[in-house]
Amino acid sequence: MKNAHGKIKTDEIKLIWLIVGELATWIGASFIWPLTSVYLNKQLHISLSIIGVVLFCNCAGNILGSIISGRLYDKYNPYPLMLWGLGLDAAVLFLMAAFHGWPEYWVWLTLTGFLGGWNGTLINSVATSLKKYPGRYVFNVLYFSQNLGVVTGTLIVGYLYDLSITLLFVIAALLFVIAFINAIFNYRPIIAFHKERIAKHKKGEKHKAEPMPKRNFIMTMVFFTTLGVTWLMYMNWESNLSVYMVSLGIPFHLYSLLWTLNAGVIAIMQGILASFPNIFKNLFHQIIFGICMFSLSFITLVFAKDFAHFALSMFILTLGESTAFPAIPAYVNDLSPLTSKGKYQGANMVASGIGRAFGPLFGGLIIDHAGYIPFFWVAAIMIALMIVVMIPTYMRVHKELNIYK
């Protein structure tokens, strides 16, 4: 690829190798989290309340890993940071295969949460260094890869769990070994990128991060708040909605089928966005469309009493997920100075992690005290309020935003 001066740019990781890393790590990670509640409760006889604490520790570890790795990316060579993250994750999973009793399982799950946040933030941060493709395209492709990994992992885990849980952990560890080897051979160009980045800003003085302009910061914080609120509600699809559907007489396997629909819609939408990148006028319009779909999906849940209506709600929800979620980190990348991209990609992961950590608890409290229908209205209204905040804020600051490519 040629830069503005006609020089061939060689210090760029190929997108295909980032995709390989995403697929391997997300398939491996998806072997672990779906079985945690069932394994701890049915085989280790741990109470549901303690399981809730275990899952919270996993999310808290994810948030901490995201914060630390994002800040380290901006200051240090990302290559060894990625190797350490992937290598340690593989090691923890091998230990989990050998020792998966109680309470060591709790320790391993917290560590995998930390390393998951570490690795995920570094992948997103490295993606900001790719200039061969538009940022919107890169994050759409990575988001699709994540979801393909999740779908593949969750489909396989049901069969492996019945065979041997030890085998399941070993295979998950081997997938991280594949990601580690892929990183060793194919992520080395990030070293040259890091040297160029430091050279541009050092110039004989200690390297300092360029502060994000005030209006960029305001817009970014609004995006992060929106992301956290949306995930706060979305997590109830993965937890409380299954109980609600079963209580209406809908078989559990049909609830699982909704996630197959989710994966299919994501694949189609990412294909459409890749083929028609200008279907939305800009990233902000894409984000607004996605958040509107999230709010609408919870409104339709109010009237859902059979599988067809739940499928419609899932379809609308997935339209929101596949458009808003990849667009927010892409826009945050455009708003972040070169020396702060890792920091704000880490903050993006933190916002998601907070929503994921507290979502089931938040939804559960409202459902226990008021019921499912009031919760659906609360979710729809809270997400819609974020649209009410985003649009006026954008209209007020968009002409003075600094865009960093």
Is the separation of the CB atoms in 78 and 194 below 8 Å? yes
| Cβ-based neighbour number of residue 247 at 10 Å | 9
pLDDT in tens, the chain (405 residues): 233 333 434 468 889 999 999 999 988 888 887 677 667 877 888 876 677 788 788 888 988 998 899 889 888 899 999 999 999 999 999 999 999 899 999 999 999 999 999 998 899 888 888 888 877 788 888 888 887 887 788 777 767 777 888 888 999 999 999 999 999 999 998 888 888 877 766 654 455 667 888 999 999 999 999 999 999 999 888 767 877 887 888 886 787 678 778 888 888 888 888 778 788 888 999 999 999 999 999 999 999 999 999 999 999 999 999 999 989 998 998 998 887 888 888 888 889 888 888 887 788 888 888 889 999 999 999 999 999 999 999 999 988 888 887
Q: Are residues 378 and 230 in the same domain?
A: yes
* H-only helix segments in 99-164: 104-127, 135-163
Q: Which domain holds residue 270?
A: 214-400
Quick one: which of 162, 154, 155, 172 has its CA closest to 109? Answer: 172
CA angle 277, 267, 152 (to 5 degrees): 145
181 and 142, same structural domain? yes
Which uninterrupted H or E stretch holds 293?
Answer: helix 283-301
How is the chain split among helix, strand and coil, in percent rounded to 5? Answer: 80, 0, 20
State the Cα–Cα distance between residues 41 and 52, nearest whole angstrom. 11
Count CA within 13 A, CB hemisphere, residue 160: 20
Could you give the C-alpha distances from 309 to 76, 80, 255, in angstroms and in order?
50, 49, 12
Q: Does 9 fall in a domain?
A: no
Answer with the one of 202, 230, 245 that is the final residue of a domain.
Answer: 202
> Which candidate, 352, 219, 232, places its Cα nearest to that of 295?
232
- 37 and 174, same domain (yes or no): yes
| Rounded-to-integer distance, Cα 211 and Cα 340, Å | 8
pTM of the model: 0.76
- Quick one: 227 and 372 in the same domain? yes
- The total number of residues written for the chain in this structure: 405
The verdict on 41 and 160 lying in the same domain is yes
